[in-house]
Structures are given as structure tokens and as C-alpha cells.
Structure 1
Amino acid sequence: MSNSPNGEAPACEIRVQSSSPAIHQVVDFPCRIGRSAECDVVIDEPSVSGLHAVLVLLPGDRLQIEDQWSTNGIHVDRKRVKQLAIERPTDLVFGRISVSMTPAGGAYQEELPPGIADTAIDRVEDEDEGHLYRRDGVEYGPYPWEQLRGLAQDGTIKGADLVWGPGATAWMRAEFIPGLFGGEPMVASGGEETTEKEGVVAQEEGSENVATVDRDEGEAPEIVVSPKAETPGADEPVSGESSAKRGRVQEISEASTPAKGGSSGRSRKAKAKAADPERPASSRRGIVCPHCWHRFAVEEFLFIARHQSLVGDPVLGADAQQRFLPSRFTPEGHAVDSAGMSCPDMACPRCHLRIPQTASEMPPLFLSIVGATASGKSYFLTSMSWELRNTLNRNFAISFTDTDAINNQILNDFEETVFLNSDSDRLIALEKTELQGELYNQVLLDGMLINLPKPFMFSVTPSEHHPEYEAVRERTSRTLVLYDNAGEHFEPGMDSVDNPTTQHLLHSDTIFFLFDPTKDVRFRRLLTSDDPQMARGARVQRQEIILTEMINRIKKYSGMRAGVKSRKTLMVVVAKCDVWLDMLALELPREPWRWDSKLHTCALDVDAIKNVSFALRSLLERVCPELVSTAESFAGDVYYVPNSALGHHPELNEETGMIGIRPRDVDPIWVDVPMLYFFCERGFIPALSRGRREERETVPIEYKVSGDVMFVSLPGQEKPLQVPLSYLGARLQCPYTGVWFDMPNPRKSWLRHREKQV
């Protein structure tokens, strides 16, 4: 669709102020903006998500920017927004990057009635000049306050129209402005009256922020946006405090319709709003339950009764404490059950499982671990969480702690068994993850008993000694949610209505696929090791079938079309590298990060990680090419990372016939690197600048782009290398000749977006 109604001028100019400033003249919609090379406007910066936002053309040639569930969001005047009409030059912040958008041509002027364009296009600069109102994208005015009141009272201005007043920074609904229609200050949509002393009108959640201050009779109300009325994004937490504790100023969206008259309760209204199929998903607010992945508004939180007599829950069973929607609260904001006891614990309104308060206050990051049976997923998760507790705080000033000890109890027990064992010489082994049992919750939903996997939740926050603690505290504070399923759950035929244990894949930002070379018969032929896992007769498995089943489930439930690649990052974690690492023909750096004196913290050497990934990809292409082709047919960003959860091969217990590891021998290799890259990709930890990367003698290259692959021709080599575009900008080593070369910067003219360098 062309963005130029008259075909003469582009509809929007986008200026990106980054390390490589650029001006993009947008001429087609929708326009995708993000870090991925597949976007129309590429912003190559770690704090920008792969697909960060989409600029769309609405009916009437109106432009609107929409957040696409990005990690760091879109901010305007330090306020996070999910959708924003671009009607004038607008300054936005994507992650850490400033972006200016300017509508051009007649994109938003042609619909204006004759004689209105000059006054409707520019907002009132002179506060004495008047007010504007808007209907269906058309603005009228300016009018003095008394004239505006007259238009409202004679029916010209409707309650659903939007009004802009002197000093305002946001549009508001006309019916929410006290005195505009001649009435008293209105009743808040939740049924709570607002007194003149308070001078603030409470609005329905999901609306623009509106505050009114006391004024004299006949004086125009000053319209301001309350600094306390933060807008929670759909992937951002909504405060876990009760409605009795929260401030009275909330947000109003243009699309929302306020309830008329009184309300029977905020929770019922929130439920109706969440269930409204006409409401766009990108504008829904709230949190996602980490147990059943149900999205709900914060007002729908149930509370868990504490009195011993209040037992019996229709979802969790007769022995569970009751869940209830509160009507009374303590001064601290805790709900009060029917027996009068304070109840601080909250639960999901659908599955009734407990959700820690911290998880409701910090946006979630979902991450799934997928792999075949006995591929080492539990060892990988245990070793990774233990290493991250130390690495992030010691090197990156990031705190990595349990969100809730109850949810993480099993994982904490695993960590104690492997890393804090009092008998370091005794052979130990972790229990196999079963199809049912303590790693799952059984609930009654829709008349069916359903098993839901227990999530492991961690709080990721900057430490107080972080050099930019105040600046990054809110942006980088997240709840990391991990899932560990039994390998059998990923096998074909194991996905059923009563066993939706792998549907967390749909919500995961990144997927770790654990590939075990000791279970691949082709790798086994190339390996010589006394590892008992390599013994003759050990079970082997076609692991790309597990990967294919994972991809099919994601496509089935997400509605992905054939031939469309997922925007998720897929990390192929090649396990047990202590057995096969000599096949890689390169030296693996022990710690792929370096101290940065300017940042006063370590920076991740992304170039080194990508070079290892490219070398490992070449190895896998030679040994099991179907794994590489399956992975890269699913996602645009696929990386291959070697690791060893234990760093030492296990031993055979002669008495029991089982294999185990002695805690004194445990020395993990690169087990935390996949997660560190995940954090770096989202701007939580810095990447090492290319100016500080290790000096190498590089050779010139010739290249040609075909689809999502770049054919790179090296001197003296007849056949070009096929390098995925996700490696753009990296310094790589040819796995066959050993020569180094630099991949082109992603901001080259052959990319699909049209831009002009400044």
C-alpha cells in the first residue's frame, strides 16, 4: 500500500539517531522497524528488538506506530506507550535509540474540512488561544473555553470526542472533563466518586491519563498528565498493588468506551474488556500467567485465603485454600478474606495457581528449553542457573536471584546436589524429568484435568553498584521464566488438550534447543572417548524430529503461514562439548567477555560468540545437515553454541549400573553463554565495541545476497561460503582455510529498506 495519497510525497520521514544516523523515507505500509535485517527500517542496536514496532496506515490516511511486544518498548516523554497516532513531528525512544517521525505530504491533511486545515494541523501554542476537539481523526478549533462548553451542551461535541487544551500533552475524552457538559465532576468508572478536594477524576483502565485541578467557576480546566500514571505495556508489569492502593489517575485509550453509569466492580469490567474480541491485542494490558499463559488485567488477580477454614477450590481441589476476588483491603494493600485475615498472596484468575508479587511487578521474559529424552536438559538448566548467579553479578553488575523460593525449590535442590554437595567424591545424578509429578501442577480447567509445567522464575535486576543504576533500573528489571519439560513431551503425538505442557513455546522470546551429539550415530562414529555414554548399545535418536515437532506446534497454535520465518531467536545448544570439542578446530575462549573501563563493567564479546557459532554451524552442516536446514527454515536468527553442563564426562557406578558425576569434577564450559547472549541481545548487558575486538589480519571478500543467505567469495577459494544474514557485521574465520574476513555492515545499500545516510 502506498503511503502517499497523492503519489507525490512519502507519508512519513523517520530519523534514527544512532551510531549510524539515517533518514528513512517511508513509502509503503505497514513499515516494520527493528533490529532484524528483514525489517523495512533497520536499527542495529542491542536495545532494539528484532521486530520492535510497526508503522501502519489507518483509514483516513492516518499514521499510527504500534509496539510489537518489544523488550524495551517505545517511550514518549519518558512514558511507555503501546500505540500512538503520528499526526505531527514526534520524538520517540526505541530502547536506547532516539527516533523522530514526521508525517509528510497530505497524509493527514486531506480529510480536514475546508477552512479547518490551518488551525487543525498545529496545536495551540498560545495558552489563551483556545481548545481543540477531534472526531474520526479530524480536528476542529481552536475555541475559547466558554464556546467549547456551548458546543458540548448543544450536542455538537459528543462525549466520545477527544479534546486538547492549553498546556496538555495528551488528548482526553470529552465526557471525562468536569464542567464541559454542565454537570458535576463525574463519578469514576469504577464506581468511586471523586471529591472536589481531591481534584482528580479516576478513569477506566486502558485510557489516556487525565487529571483535573481545582478551578474557579467559568475558568477553563487545566489539563495535565499525571507523572504517576505510568502506562504499563502489554509485556510490562502492571503493579501488583490492589485497586485500593493505586492512584486515581489511570490511562484512557481512544478506542476504549467508558462504562455508562455505575459499575458492579472493576474486575468484571476488566474481564469484559479483556474478552472483547474487537479490542486489538497490542492494546491489551496486564500480565501473562507463567503457569497457564492466560493474559489478564491486574484487577482480575485473585487472592489466596489464609484462614484454615477457607479451603476447597473448584480449580485446584478440595485441599487447596480458596481463591477470591477481594472487596476489602488492609492499609498495606493486602486483600482481606471472609474470616478477616490479611491475604498478601495472589493467584491467576484462570488456573488459580499462585503468582509471586515480584512477577507481577516486572515484565516477564519467557524462555523454553527443548531437547530429546536424556539429552541433559536438567543438568544444563541447573548448571546455567548456578553460573548466572555468579557471572552476572561479578562481571556485569546484574543481580540474578530467585523470584520465589517455592517455585524454584526443585532447581535449588539440583544446584545443591551438584555444586554444594558435602561429599564431593560421591557419585551423584539428577533425577530424570518425568511426564508427571512434582514438576507439574494438575488443575481442573473447562471440566478437564490438565497438567501444567511448573515454571522456574528469576528476578533479573541491576545491582546497586551498576554504573548506571538509576538510569537502567526500570528498563532492565525483568522476571525470567524458564521451563524444563520431559523430553517425551516434545515427541510427535504427545501434544494433547489435557497435556498442554509445551505451549509455553508460543510465548518464549528465545528457544534453546539442546542437541546431544552422543545420541547421533554419525557423531558417534567420529568420536573416540571412554565416556560411558558412548558405550556400544547406548540409545541413539534422530533429534531433528524433535525440532520439527517443536516447530509444527508453534506454527499450529500461532497461525504462522507456510514459508514465514519466526521472529524468535533459536539457540542450538550443542551439549557435552568436553567429548567432541576437538572436532571444532578452534580455541574456545574460556570467558567471552572483557572489562570495559568506560562502562565500568564487562562487555560481552559478541564477535567471538558468533565466530564460534559459525564454526559449529559448519561442523553440523558436514555431520548432520538436516538439523541446520530445519533450524534455519524456522527462524531468521539461529545461533549454535557449544557447552558442557558438567565439563567432565560421567562415570559408571559398578554397583548400580547407573552413571553419575563426582561434584569435585564439575567444571562447566560455556553453559552461561547462551543466556548471556540472550541478555545482550535485549540490551541488559553491553556488547564489546568493534573497535576493541582482537586485531586480526583479514582478507577482502566479494559477496552476493540471495534471500536470507549471503554468498561470500574468499580469495583462492572456488566455492563461496553460505553465511546467514544474522552474521552481518561480524568478524568470522573460514572453517576450511582459517583466514579471517569481515562480514558487511547490515546498513548496506543492498538491504530491502530505502534510506539516506546523514
Structure 2
Amino acid sequence: MKNFYIFTDGNVRGPFPPETVAMMLADGRIDMQTLLCSGKGQPWIKAADVGVVIEELEKIKNTAQAPKPTQVLYPTNANHPAAGNPPSPESVAESANTAASTQSRREVVFYCPHCSQKYSGSESWLGRDINCIRCSKSFTAIENAPTKADRTPSQSSAAQAAQSVPNANSTENKVSSATSAGKNSMEFFDWENSTGELICPHCWVKFNSDQLLYIASHPALTGDPVLGSMAQKRFLPTIFNARGQALDEMSQATNDLACPRCHLKIPATIIDEKSCYFSLVGASGTGKSYYLATLLNQVRKNMSSDFACTLLDVDPEMNALLDGYEETLFRSTRRSEVAVLPKTQAAGGGHVTQVTLNNISVNLPKPFIYELKHFISNQTIKDCNIVFYDNSGELFMPGADNLANPGTRHLACSDGIIFLFDPLNDAVMRTQCAQEEPQLQSDKFVYDQLKLLSEMISRIRRHRNLNVEEKCQIPLVIGVCKHDAWQHLLERDISQLPVRQSCEGELAMQWVQNTIMDVSFELRELLFKYAPALVNTAESFFEKVIFIPFSNFGCFSSPADADGGLGVIPEKINPLWVTEPLMALLAENSLIAQAPLPEGNISPANAQIAEDFIILKHPENGRLIRLPWNYSGVVITVNGKQYKLPHHPRSNQQIQDKVTMLGKMNNDLWN
């Protein structure tokens, strides 16, 4: 049944079930002209015109004469037991006989033993069964029964005044009585088994929108059990102003939201739109920070003309680190001087936030959150949040994943992974790279990148609880970086290949999937020659694997100091295919349009379907090649000749699933 918000005295209060609203009408605390609303986006309607409330009012009148205002049975505060436990007709009849004595009853405080939600109200609640507004579990009210922790945090005089539960129309009730979230509400909630439609981009816990906390605006409201004494308080609001903004204990409006578990700030777009989480993985020295900065610049520069959409900065404060990287490389006033980005730190350095969870100091990685906004509304392609993570390579070392450093656990909820493979740091492949690249003068970052890939797979399997036979459905892009140092190893100049295709009558272009998959096949063959174990490991665990070459700079790096540090000269930067790994993941998540695969008079490849693979006999040397099923229907190029791979049943099922989803979306519009 719907709950209703009430607009009185210039503030919005609630939500309340229809029974409670009817009780307020019965005792005169509100009247028939009071405006009610059932939720965001719904119209405000006079109480007299809300049928379900009028029906409940008639039941009350038929059962017993409603009492005069008692302030005990019908509180407006969320931490009063009546907020989740509307009075029954029997209790109304009883209160009608004892209204006078009720006025003089003392106020008591008690707590939910399951989640520690604090309640205050008349002593008449003691001994009664209560349905908790926080965890929805039942308990018997017992006075002063806090559990598991001291639940008497200091309160301002305004908060103490709110405990008196004044009349809804009283000006005193402008002060919110919501308890500050923390020890007295959420600290002992079972977050490991929590569910919901939202995912926190900081700690990756799932929760529902009604569990969101607000961040107090008033500078005097500081002190948080999770973030420390200097952080602004987090609270569950119960009072809103006429604009729908939550009011803190000092009656100051706030719009800032926070996660109910880690208490870190969450942009409002996370609540309103779908979010796609993209993880960036790579060993130290692969240039992950340079890649993200260049990617952000190129997406902002080209997405509007290519796909009629743009990437908006939803929270400049949260994205300040990455925006600063972009400014260093692309908006420097000294473009002829070498620019250097700081190394990503496993702890500190602005890359992580330290919080206290379950009495453990935890380092959480800072996400970079942007909104992918399309210029033209589309039923099949929706606006969404894009969340990036830039982890230090040290976090992927064996044994680095623990409760105090869960920085890579975003992999468990990831919608796509970009694994950066650096040929210059591969002991075998670096011998084939252009020796004039300054990075080759040192072997400081040479590392077996297969170990990092294997550790990543182990963590995904563990955190997604996959058995040994299950394959991962997260699309994996292996981005082979620093293309300018090894481009001579490819047969074709990728800068001359089409990756965008105009569509007649459409403002947005299409991503040319076949070009990417064709180059992926060639690059796969190259890597299979120098790093076969890496190719086999990736394709054995992930259902979809794409190999994409790119260059952050389009030029060699430059010495930055006498100690061997390297950077890049901004005026020489000319990125190549740096956006294609992200475009591949956006296409896999149906966030950009794809051009159809080529058809027509193309020689069929000598290939057959085998479970989740396409077994191809190489047209030149006859070697059998096992390709993932996402190569279905792709036209590959071998020594200048084209061959079309067969369609895999899995690709047909994927298309059908998307059609079914679109049909469901269309039906939802009319339901």
C-alpha cells in the first residue's frame, strides 16, 4: 500500500501509511485541505481527495471515537515507534479512555536489538511488539536497552528538543529528530548479505534507496563513527522543506547523499540512472593514469561528434584527481616542457579514502564517476553513470587483497575490464620493440604480467563465488599499450582503418565492430607468438576477450630528470585508438550503436562451432585456432584476404535477449 508525505507549516514530513494519515485527520492534527503526495514525481492532492485515506478514516470513526491530540500516538519523527507501527483501532479506543493520563506520561528511549535503531516515545510503548523501520524485524520494546555499543552520543539542544515529539503543526518540529547514522542505526547491519537495486561505488555494498543517508550541512554537526571526528554527520532524514530538500538537526537543507555502510558521498545520478563499473588493471609502469587522463580528454573531445553524447563530470570534487591529470597533459601552459603524472599509490596520495568498518581501518579506492549523457533520447540506449577505478599495480600482488585493503573488489561487480598489457615490460616482446624508446633503457618495470592476470582471475572467481568450471561473463579487453613502439609488428596501419560509420538519417554514428575484431584477431596471433600463456589464460576464463592496440601519446616518452624518470611533452601528444577499449565495453553494454557485421560475397573461413568456441583452421599455415564465441560472424583479414567466420548460436541468443529486453522496456511504458 502507498505511503504518503504531508505538507504542513512549509515542510514536508513522512512518509506515513494511510492509517496514520487517517489518525492525524481524526484527531485534528491535519485537515481535509492538507496536501498529500505518494512519492517523487507524483502530484500533491488534498487529503479529502485521497480515497484510501478517507476509507481508513471511516474505519476509525466506525470503530471508536478518535481521541484529542496526544502527541504520543501520532508522532511525525522517524525515530518514534509509530513511524513504522501505526496505531490499531483497539489502541485508539483505549487511548480515547485514557487521553488525559496519556498527556502526562513520561518519554522513554529504547532500541531495536537487531539493527540498533533508536526510538523515543511514550512509556505506553513498552512491552509492545514493534516493527523496526530500519531492518523490518519485530521486537518487544524494552526501556533503555541499547545493545552491542554505547548508544548515547552527544546531541545538540536542537536534537534534544526534537525528542519531545511535538505536534506536526508545531513550529518546534522544524528540527529533524532523525538520529545521526552510525553506531545507533547501521553499524551492526549485516552488510555482507545485503541486497538492493543500488551499489555503492566506494565499498560495493548493495542497498535500497530508502537506506540512503544524507550529509549534514550545518558546520556544527560534525563527528562520524565511520569517517572520523572532522567529517560532517550522516543522518536519516524525516523532515523536508517545500523544495523537497532534507533538513538536518539544525534545520539546514542538504542534497548530499552518502552510502549507508561506508558513509562516503554518492552523486545523485547513481540513484537516478544505471551505473556501469569499468575496472582498469595493469602492472606498475604500464601507464594506467596516463591512459585514464588521455581517455577522458579524447572522449570529451570526440564523443559528441561521433555518438551524439558526452561525458559529464557529476562531481568535480570526487573527480578532481583525474581532472588534474588531464589538465597536466592537455591544458598545460608550458606545452613544450616534459609533463609527468604521479604514480598511483596503494595507500594515500589522494587515491584512497580511509574509513572504519567493523572497527577495522579500511582503505577504499576513490572512484571516478561521470555521466554518459545522450543528446537524443532513445529507448534502446539510455543515459548512465560511468565509474572508473585506477588501482596501483601493487594491489594485484598475491596476498594484497585483504579486509584492510579491499581496493580491487570492484572487479566482482564490474561491467567490463580493461587489462593493460605492456610489451615494453614483457621480457620477451620488448626485444622486438623500437629501441629508441627511452623506456627500454631500464628494466625496472619488467614483470611477468601473466601473474597479474592470474591473480585478477583468482579474485574475480573468489568474490563472485564462481566454481572451477564456471566462466566469467564480464567482457575483457586486453589493451596492448604503447603501440608506437611496436607498430611495425602489425601488418596494417591501424590509423587508416575505419572505426566509425555514418548511418543515414541518424545524428549518431555507429561503432564498427568488425574493424576492431579483425584487428583483435591479428593482435591475438601476435601475442600468441610472444606470450601464448597470457592469451590462453584469458580465453579460458572469460567468455569474451578482445585484443585492442592503442597509444596514449602517439610518440615516444621523454626523459624528465637525471634519475631516469620519464614523461611526455604535451605538444607532441597525438593519441591513437585510445578510446577503442572503452568503446568496446560501451558496445557490449548496449550504450553505443554498433554497425552491422559485413555480409555478401566473402569467402567462408574453414571453421566449426565447438561449445563456446569457434575452431578455425588458419587459411595460410593450417594451424587450428580456438577463438571465443564473440568472434561470431566477424570477417577477418589474413595476408590481405578476407574470410568470414561462422555465426555462433550464443551470438544469436544474445541478440534475442536484447530484443526481449527492449520489448519489456516498451511494455513497462504502458503498465
What TM-score, normalized by structure 2, do the two folds share? 0.70
Task: Tell me how far 1:470 sits from its aligned partner.
Answer: 6.0
For 1:563 and 1:334, locate their aligned partners in 2 and report how far apart those are by CA, in whole Å. 50
Please point out which of 435, 441, 446 is paired with 2:358: 446
Shift of residue 535 of structure 1? 1.3
Q: Please, what is the CA RMSD of the aligned residues?
A: 3.8
Which deviates further from its counterpart, 369-378 or 265-274? Answer: 265-274
Residue 229 of structure 1 is matched in structure 2 by: none
Question: Which residue is equivalent to 2:281?
Answer: 370
CA contact (8 A) 1:189 1:202 kept: no
Structure 1 residue matching 2:362: 3-state secondary structure: strand
3-state SS of 2:428 partner: helix
Q: Deviations over 1:270-304 (max 9, x none)?
A: 54489999x998xx544111111122221221111
1:746 aligns with 2:648: yes
Classify 1:576/1:214 alpha carbon distance in 2 versus 1 (closer, same or farther; 3 Å).
same
Distance 2:382 2:284 in 1: 34
- Displacement of 1:382 in angstroms is 0.7
Aligned residue for 2:459, secondary structure, equals helix
Amino acid at match of 2:402: S
Match of 2:204 among 293, 318, 323: 293
Q: Which residue of 1 aligns with 2:159?
A: none
* Within-5 A mapping of 1:505-516: 505-516=411-422
Equivalent in the alignment of 2:237: 326
Distance 2:293 2:33 in 1: 56
Name the structure 1 match of 2:262.
351
Decide whether aligned partners of structure 1 residues 522 and 690 sit closer, same or farther in structure 2, where only a CA change above 3 A counts: same
Give the C-alpha shift of residue 485 in structure 1. Answer: 0.8
Mapped contact 1:452–1:501 kept (Cα < 8 A):
yes
Q: Which amino acid aligns with 2:234?
A: R
Amino acid of the structure 2 residue aligned with 1:731: V
Specify which structure has the higher proportion of helix: 2
* Candidates 501, 514, 517, aligned match of 1:610: 517
Trace 1:587-666 onto structure 2 (pairs within 5 A): 587-590=493-496, 592-653=499-560, 655-666=562-573
1:317 Cα deviation from its structure 2 partner: 0.7
Contact 2:213 2:235 in 1 (8 A): yes
CA distance in 2: counterparts of 1:667 and 1:335, whole angstroms: 47
The CA distance in 2 between the partners of 1:657 and 1:187, in whole Å, is 66
1:387 aligns with 2:298: yes
Moved more, 323-332 or 558-567: 323-332
Q: Deviations along 1:483-515, whole A, 9 cap, x unmatched?
A: 101110011111111111111111111011111
Task: Give the equivalent residue in structure 2 for 1:455.
Answer: 367
Report if aligned partners of 2:559, 2:566 keep a CA contact under 8 Å in 1. Answer: yes
8 Å CA contact 2:197–2:206 kept in 1: the answer is yes
The match for 1:698 among 594, 599, 602 is 602
CA deviation profile, 1:680-703 (whole Å, cap 9, x unmatched): 222222111335x8x8x7323332
Provide the C-alpha distance between the structure 2 equivalents of 1:451 and 1:189, rounded to a whole number of angstroms: 44
CA deviation map 1:513-557 (0-9, x unaligned): 111110101101222321111115443100010111111111112
Q: Secondary structure at the match of 1:326?
A: coil
Paired residue type of 2:612: D
Equivalent position amino acid for 1:647 in 2? G
Q: Is the 8 A contact 2:370 2:387 kept in 1?
A: yes
Amino acid at match of 1:611: D
Secondary structure in structure 1 of the residue aligned to 2:544: strand
Between the aligned partners of 1:297 and 1:190, the Cα distance in structure 2 is 24
Q: What SS does structure 1 have at the residue aligned with 2:506?
A: coil
Matching residue within 526, 529, 538 for 2:432: 526
Amino acid at match of 1:188: P
Give 2:385's aligned residue: 479
Query: Which residue of 269, 280, 285 maps to 2:133?
Result: 269
Can you give the 5+ residue segments of structure 1 that lack an aligned partner in the other structure? Answer: 1-171, 177-185, 204-211, 219-243, 245-257
Residue number in structure 1 paired with 2:224:
313
CA distance in 1, matches of 2:429, 2:259: 46
Amino acid at match of 2:448: R
Cα drift, residue 192 of structure 1: 4.5
Aligned to 1:639, the other structure's residue is in SS state strand
Q: Residues 571 and 640 of structure 1 are in contact (CA less than 8 Å); yes or no, is this contact kept in structure 2?
A: yes
Partners of 1:192 and 1:581 lie apart in 2 by: 71
SS of 1:566's partner is coil
2: CA distance between counterparts of 1:483 and 1:490? 13
Partner residue in 1 for 2:630? 726
SS of residue in 2 equivalent to 1:648 = coil
The alignment status of 1:586 with 2:497, answered yes or no, reads no
2:17 alignment counterpart: 188
Return the offset for 1:410: 0.6
| Closer/same/farther in 2, CA of residues 476 and 319 from structure 1, 3 Å limit | same
Separation of aligned partners in 1, 2:397 and 2:407: 12
Map 1:110-129 onto structure 2 (within 5 A). Answer: none
Alignment of 1:51-450 (within 5 A): 188=17, 192-193=21-22, 214=51, 261=86, 269=133, 271-272=135-136, 284-437=195-348, 438-450=350-362
The residue aligned with 1:224 is none
Q: Which digits, 9 at most, give the CA deviation of each residue in 1:625-683, with x for residues without a partner?
A: 01111111211001111111111111123545321210001111111011112222222
Taking the aligned partners of 1:471 and 1:730, their CA distance within structure 2 comes to 27
* 2:474 aligned counterpart, secondary structure: strand
Name the aligned partner's letter for residue 581 of structure 1: Q
Match of 2:615 in 1: 711
When normalised by structure 1's length, the TM-score is 0.62
Deviation at 1:709, TM superposition (A): 2.3
Secondary structure at 2:485 match in 1: helix
Could you say if the C-alpha distance between residues 200 and 741 of structure 1 is closer, same or farther in structure 2, counting changes exceeding 3 Å? farther
| Maintained 8 Å contact 1:367/1:481 | yes
- For 1:752 and 1:289, the matched residues in 2 are separated by 28
Equivalent position SS for 1:457: strand
Amino acid at match of 2:469: G
> Could you tell me how far apart the structure 2 residues matched to 1:414 and 1:328 are?
41
**Aligned with 1:400: secondary structure?**
strand
Q: Larger deviation: 485-494 or 739-748?
A: 739-748
State how far apart, in whole Å, the 2-side matches of 1:641 and 1:509 are.
Answer: 18
Report the secondary structure of 2:240's partner residue. Answer: coil
Contact map agreement 2:553 2:575 (CA 8 A) in 1: yes
| 1:327–1:198 distance in 2 versus 1, CA, 3 Å | closer
Q: For residues 440 and 654 of structure 1, do their structure 2 counterparts lie closer, same or farther at Cα, with a shift above 3 Å needed?
A: closer
Shift of 1:707: 3.0
Tell me if the contact between 1:267 and 1:299 (Cα under 8 Å) persists in the aligned partners.
Answer: no
| Matches of 2:650 and 2:215, distance apart in 1 | 56
Structure 2 CA distance for aligned equivalents of residues 517 and 446 of structure 1? 42
Return closer, same or farther for 1:713/1:546 CA change in 2, 3 Å cut-off. Answer: closer
Q: Deviations over 1:164-186 (max 9, x none)?
A: xxxxxxxx99xx9xxxxxxxxx9
Aligned mates of 1:357, 1:752 — CA distance in 2? 32
- When residues 611 and 304 of structure 1 are mapped into structure 2, their CA distance, relative to the original with a 3 A threshold, is same
Distance in 2 between residues matched to 1:493 and 1:535, nearest whole Å: 31
| Alpha-carbon distance in structure 2 between the residues aligned to 1:589 and 1:349 | 47
Distance 1:622 1:524 in 2: 13
